[in-house]
Amino acid sequence: MALICVDVAMRTFLNKPISGVVEFVALSVAGFVFLQLPSAIANRRLLRAEMFIEPLEERNPRAAAIFNIVFWLVGVFLFWKILVWAWPDFTKAWSTDEFAGAPGAYMIPVWPFKLALIIGTFIGLLQFIKLAAIEAGALFVTRAKTTGAPLAAKGNAGLFTSLVFLTAVAAFLIFMFTGDHRPINVGIYCLFGMLLLVFLGMPIPLALMGMSYIGIWIARGGEINALNTLGLAASSAVGSYEFGVIPLFIMMGVVLEKADVGKDAFQVAAAMLRRLRGGLGMATVFANAIFASIVGSSVASAAVFSRIAVPAMVSHGYTKRFSVGCVAGSSVLGMLIPPSLLLIIYGLVAEQSVGRLFIAAIVPGIILAATFCVGIYLMAVFMPRFVGAPRPAEDMAAMGAGEMTVKLAPIALLVLAVIGGIYGGIFTPTEAAAVGTAIAFAIAFSRGRIDWKIFKSILLETGFVSAVILFLIVAANLYTRQVALTGIPTKFADWVTGAGLDLTSFLAVYFVVVFLLGMIIDSVSIMLIVLPIMLPVLDVLDGNKIWFGVVTTIAVEIGLLTPPFGLSVYVVKGVLPKDFVSLNTIFAGSFPFVVMMFLVTVLVMAFPELSLWLGRL
């Protein structure tokens, strides 16, 4: 962050940019990911679907341990293969003095960055071995975790399920490696195998990488091709300056959460809307929209406003169901209103301008927020039992225009710096993220919200989240290569055109696929799984990729509110006191927002100009 900010300042004020910043950041990203991964692995932070494995761990820990041992051994295998590829690559860079840059201008040795990848991969390998050993030890536990009853009393159903799983894995591998399969069939088998492993609870990046490795091995007729592709994905998939934007925006969001910016936004919104029917619900939406304009994370929004808005709404007579539904439902604005982490990832995967995507999402984001507010008002009028009997929030302090301006000034400054800087051509997205993060730290320090302990927690949380997301992108890069090698996008495009599907019909199919996947896996994973298959079809149908990115983001975000995954719902549940509200109640409270999101998705699909006209000005 500091290096990029200094480079921006030197370029802007002295016309003397620092040579090599772009190359240094690009080289650093992969090493950063793999150095941080061991900690994420040890803390079990890798993304996974838990609707199967979590109940199994509660009912029969020994059976679940068998599943987890297989999962962690896949990680051991993959990280060992990365080491096998990376070590010769490192020794070559060391012996030949490989560098990035230009002689006489600047020269950056490459070997330290390759060494960082090796060190991180080796420690990650040890962590996977440790996790597998822990699970192996669980096989000898004689008492159930939850009740203390002997495991034998739990029955043998869980162990039978584990035996079936092991048999199925062995049968699949035998079938794949002994059969004579066409590449397209290999791709299809691996796709369904990957989805099944994700459902069973294998960490999503391991499922993507494991099945892709097998697919490339078989489709290309040799392991050496799979090994080289895996190594290239690990070393270069995120080896670009543009990927530096992800940890920087994540850090900015974490800092602003600590700085209580969300609380200021809610207080201003509540002061403005407190006398309206459903006013505090609308204030939650309004504050979420403001917070989203600087943070770009639905999870952060859900966490912040669960603490701020829910107690205020319940104390003023709103039902718990409606209160938590407003927070969970409006939190999705964090991934649509720019700067949005999902839009950044879409832009990197689809090779589209992140700045243009940000501009394209502004109007749909405003429409979605306005739809939520109108929906809340209508629910307050026509569904009083659902909303409750709220009292006007007269006890909440009135606020003059001057005080509102003071509270919103930091937010306005950040929006101007980040969005204005990108749209005005002053900053690249990565530079805007660095400048925004620096401003966020300045705001937090000025409010006395940062001490050494909080600073360390900011660095740790940024590292965890960034490493998990970037490692998922590495896995998706390998998956994309496997999908391309086996010809799935081409065959799917041929099927779409052969079936006579137009763009509207394709979008309907696409929405259903995304909606169903949203029930079991997170938003980022959905994008990284479906886009490599769907984007080539969009090209055949002459669809606009900027508009498609906005449609995809809204559709994917619905999954944050739908069971059983519903990440925003789980965040709200986790932040609130343990017995305050049930998961089912939060899902029920969120349902009206799912309906409204569906309507807005259809609207943006039907009228692409809603997302495109602003970018043409």
The pLDDT tens digits for 227-244 are 999 999 999 888 888 888
Q: How far apart are CA 252 and CA 464, in angstroms?
A: 14
Q: Is it the case that residue 137 has pLDDT exceeding 50?
A: yes
The closest of 422, 440, 274 to 362, measured between CA atoms, is: 422
More confident site: 591 or 566 = 591
Residue 608 sits at φ, ψ, to 5 deg, of -55, -30
Bridge pairing between strands 99-102 and 106-109? antiparallel
Does residue 204 form part of some domain?
A: no
Report, as an integer, the average pLDDT of 555-565. Answer: 81
Do residues 146 and 256 both lie within one domain?
A: no
Which H or E element spans position 101? strand 99-102
- What is the average pLDDT across 117-133? 95
Average pLDDT, the chain: 85
Judge whether 172 and 193 are in contact, CB under 8 Å: yes
Residue 408 pLDDT > 90: no
Buried b (16+ CB within 10 A) or exposed e, 289-315: bbbbbbbbbbbbbbbbbbebbbebbbe
The pairs formed by 271-274 with CB atoms below 8 angstroms and a separation of 24 or more are 271/396, 271/397, 271/398, 271/399, 271/404, 272/399, 272/404, 274/392, 274/393, 274/394, 274/396
- CA distances, 235 to each of 120, 207, 500, 515 (Å): 12, 19, 41, 33
For residue 97, is it left (φ>0), alpha (ψ between -120 and 50) or beta?
left
Tokens linked to 375 = 């929906």
Asked whether residue 254 falls in the same domain as residue 156, the answer is no
Domain-terminating residue out of 120, 148, 177: 177
- As a whole number, mean pLDDT of residues 80-93 equals 95
C-alpha distances (whole Å) from 104 to each of 19, 39, 107, 108, 485 are: 11, 39, 8, 12, 41
What mean pLDDT do residues 500-512 have? 88
211: in domain:
no
Asked whether residue 144 falls in the same domain as residue 271, the answer is no
Contact between 287 and 266 (Cβ < 8 Å): yes
Q: Are 47 and 472 in contact (CB under 8 A)?
A: yes
Q: How confident is the model at residue 87 (pLDDT cuts 50, 70, 90)?
A: very high
- Percent of the chain residues past pLDDT 70, beyond the cut: 93
> What DSSP designation does 140 have?
T
Do 395 and 476 reside in the same domain of the chain?
yes
Of 126, 151, 177, which residue is a domain's last?
177
| b (16+ CB within 10 A) / e for 352-364 | bbbbbbbbbbbbb
DSSP character at residue 276: S
Give the residue ranges of DSSP H helices in 487-612.
Answer: 488-498, 503-518, 523-540, 545-558, 567-575, 583-606, 609-612
Same domain as 597, residue 471: yes
Higher pLDDT, residue 277 or 9: 277
Looking up tokens 């997301």 gives 469
Domain end residue (candidates: 156, 177, 198): 177
Mean pLDDT over residues 546-569, rounded? 85
Predicted confidence at residue 20, as pLDDT, reads 78
Q: What is residue 92's predicted lDDT score, i.e. its pLDDT?
A: 93
Question: Do 370 and 467 have their domain in common?
Answer: yes
Query: Do 533 and 425 reside in the same domain of the chain?
Result: yes
Q: 256 vs 193, which has greater pLDDT? A: 193
Token pair of 267, please?
């207080």
Question: Mean per-residue pLDDT for 309-337?
Answer: 87
What band does 462 get if pLDDT is binned at 50, 70 and 90?
confident
Residues 170 and 253 in one domain: no
Which of 28-37, 147-156, 271-280: highest mean pLDDT? 28-37
Same domain, 358 and 472: yes
pLDDT given at position 495: 83
Per-residue b or e along 157-184, where b marks 16 or more CB atoms closer than 10 Å to that residue's CB: ebbebbeebeeeeeebeeebeeeebebe
Which residue range(s) make up the domain with 479? 243-616
Q: Is residue 217 predicted with pLDDT exceeding 50?
A: yes
pLDDT band with cut points at 50, 70 and 90 for residue 72: very high
Maximum mean pLDDT: which of 84-93, 296-305, 375-384: 84-93
Q: Are 100 and 94 in contact (CB under 8 A)?
A: no
Q: Is 296:341 a contact under the CB 8 Å cutoff?
A: yes
Which amino acid makes up residue 303?
Answer: A
Q: What is the mean pLDDT of residues 268-279?
A: 79
Q: What is the pLDDT of residue 158?
A: 59
Instruction: Please report which confidence band the pLDDT of residue 258 belongs to, taking 50, 70 and 90 as the band edges.
Output: confident
Kindly state whether residues 502 and 588 are assigned to the same domain. yes
R_g of the chain, CA atoms, integer Å? 25
What pLDDT does 153 receive?
Answer: 43
In-domain check, residue 199: no
Assigned domain for 531 exists: yes
The count of other CB atoms within 10 Å of the CB of residue 579 is 6
Average pLDDT over residues 167-179: 88
Q: Do residues 268 and 366 share a domain?
A: yes
Residue 481 lies in a domain: yes
The whole-number pLDDT of residue 395 equals 54
> What integer is the mean pLDDT of 591-606?
93
Which among 240, 241, 239, 244 is positioned nearest to 434, based on CA atoms?
A: 244
182 vs 11, more confident? 182
Mean pLDDT of the 271-286 span: 83
Q: Is 119 exposed, middle or buried (0-12, 13-18, 19+ CB in 10 A)?
A: middle
pLDDT at 55 over 80: yes
- Structural domains counted in the chain: 2
Residue 234 lies in a domain: no
- Which of the four pLDDT bands, split at 50, 70 and 90, describes residue 89? very high
**Cis amide prior to 592 (ω within 30 degrees):** no
Which band of pLDDT confidence, cut at 50, 70 and 90, is reported for residue 145?
Answer: very low
List, in sequence order, every residue forming a beta bridge with 318; answer none if it has no partner.
388
pTM as predicted: 0.85
**393 versus 486: which is more confidently predicted?**
486
Could you tell me if residue 153 is inside a domain? yes
pLDDT tens digits for range 179-207? 778 888 998 999 899 989 988 889 989 99
Integer Cα distance of 134 and 125 in angstroms? 14
Q: What is the pLDDT of residue 490?
A: 82
* CA–CA distances in Å: residue 572 to residues 256, 301, 356, 554, 586: 19, 10, 32, 20, 8
CA angle centred on 498, ends 497 and 499, rounded to 5°: 90
Indicate whether 165 and 252 sit together in one domain.
Answer: no
Residue 236 lies in a domain: no
- How far is C-alpha 434 from the geometric centre of its chain's CA atoms? 20
pLDDT band at 1 (very low <50, low <70, confident <90, very high): low
The region of weakest confidence among 144-153, 284-293, 471-480, 541-550 is 144-153
Return the pLDDT at 466.
87
Structure-model confidence comparison of residues 175 and 269, the more confident one: 175
Specify whether the CB–CB gap between 323 and 313 falls below 8 A.
yes
Residue 545's pLDDT band (boundaries 50, 70, 90)? very high
What stretches of 201-331 show up as alpha helix (H) in DSSP?
204-219, 223-236, 245-258, 261-273, 279-295, 298-315, 320-330
Q: What is the pLDDT of residues 345-356, one digit of tens each?
A: 899 888 898 888
Q: List CB contacts of 371: < 8 A, sequence separation 6 or more.
A: 596, 599, 600
DSSP character at residue 163: H
Res 572 pLDDT > 90? no
Of 574 and 71, the one with more pLDDT: 71
